[in-house]
Amino acid sequence: MEFFARTGRNTIDGITRIGRASVMFWGAIVARPRPMKSIPLTIKQMYVVGVQSLLIILVSGLFIGMVMGLQGYTVLVNYGAEESLGPMVALSLLRELGPVVTALLFAGRAGSALTAEIGLMKATEQLSSLEMMAVDPLRQVIAPRLWAGILTMPMLALIFSAIGILGGHLVGVDWLGVDAGSYWSIMQSAVDLNEDIMNGVIKSVVFAIVVTWIAVFNGYDSIPTSEGISKATTQTVVHSSLAVLGLDFVLTAVMFGTE
């Protein structure tokens, strides 16, 4: 009996959480948007969420591109096909690694910070005092953070892919001696703007919505104690990483599965 009771409780809890998250998302994003007033707040959050994540994105993008150049070369050179290094690096970055790794890094770097910040605002009753002053915390606090995450993550993913392709060039062409002309020209004939780049952007927009939503909601819904905030922060990283990896499979199957 206890088992069934627990299952039922967890199910009801989960569904009410999804409901609360949807209500929060609706109130912050969809209902009554005030673009003129929220633009300065959004720019501040874009600085916190986007610009400050730039370093980790640049460094990891460069190194992932370099590692792919190195590993791809050692395999491809066996078949005399090292010229195909360009499309290999470019397609895997644009279709998969760019959006996915950016989303995972973003969840760890910016998502956890968002959760902790909003959770502490709740614990110190700043959100309640905003409501006391007739300021809607959904619009003043939550909406700018959601918009900033949704806008910046696709940009970070594009930067990640671009720097990764340059990293692959650095190792493959400058170090291992693949011909620079064929690195670029075979890449150009293999990569399509709509098929590859745009689908990667769509992917990262979906990931951006999911990760930022999870991060902001976990903070907004956290138990206002130090333990509750730490739990919410952990949940943000775990849930958003799982959601990104799961959604990535679904999106890949829809976009590239039927070729």
Rounded CA gap, 238 and 150, in Å? 19
Of 76-115, binders to other proteins (CB under 8 A) are 79, 81, 90, 94
Scanning 40-48, 125-133, 234-242, 249-257 for contacts with other proteins by CB under 8 A, the matching segment is 40-48
Is 70 one of the binding residues for other proteins (CB under 8 A)?
no
Residues 6+ apart with CB under 8 A from 66: 167, 168, 170, 171
Instruction: Determine the size of the site formed for other proteins (CB under 8 A).
Output: 31
Q: Smallest Cα–Cα separation from 153: which of 120, 182, 110, 121?
A: 110
Cα–Cα distance measured from residue 132 to residue 155, given in angstroms and rounded to the nearest whole number: 37
User: Any idea what DSSP says for residue 171?
Assistant: I
Question: Least separation, in Å, of the C-beta of 119 and other proteins?
Answer: 23
Tell me the two tokens of residue 178: 């693949």
161 belongs to the binding site for other proteins (CB under 8 A): yes
Angle (CA) 70-58-112 rounded to 5° is 120
Q: Which stretch binds other proteins (CB under 8 A): 48-56, 103-111, 137-145, 206-214?
A: 48-56
Verify binding: residue 44, other proteins, rule CB under 8 A: yes
Min dist. Cβ of residue 187 to other proteins (A): 6
Q: Which stretch binds other proteins (CB under 8 A): 20-28, 41-49, 103-111, 226-234?
A: 41-49
Does position 257 interact with other proteins (CB under 8 A)? The reply is no
Q: CA nearest 117: which of 241, 232, 213?
A: 232
Of 187 and 214, CB closest to other proteins: 187
C-alpha to C-alpha distance for 204 and 158, rounded to whole angstroms = 9
CA gap 91, 197 in Å, rounded: 9
Q: Is 199 in the site for other proteins (CB under 8 A)?
A: no
Which residue intervals of 26-53 are DSSP H helices? 35-49
Interacting residues with other proteins (CB under 8 A): 40, 43-44, 46-47, 50-51, 54, 79, 81, 90, 94, 152, 154-156, 158-159, 161-163, 165, 184, 187-189, 191-193, 196-197
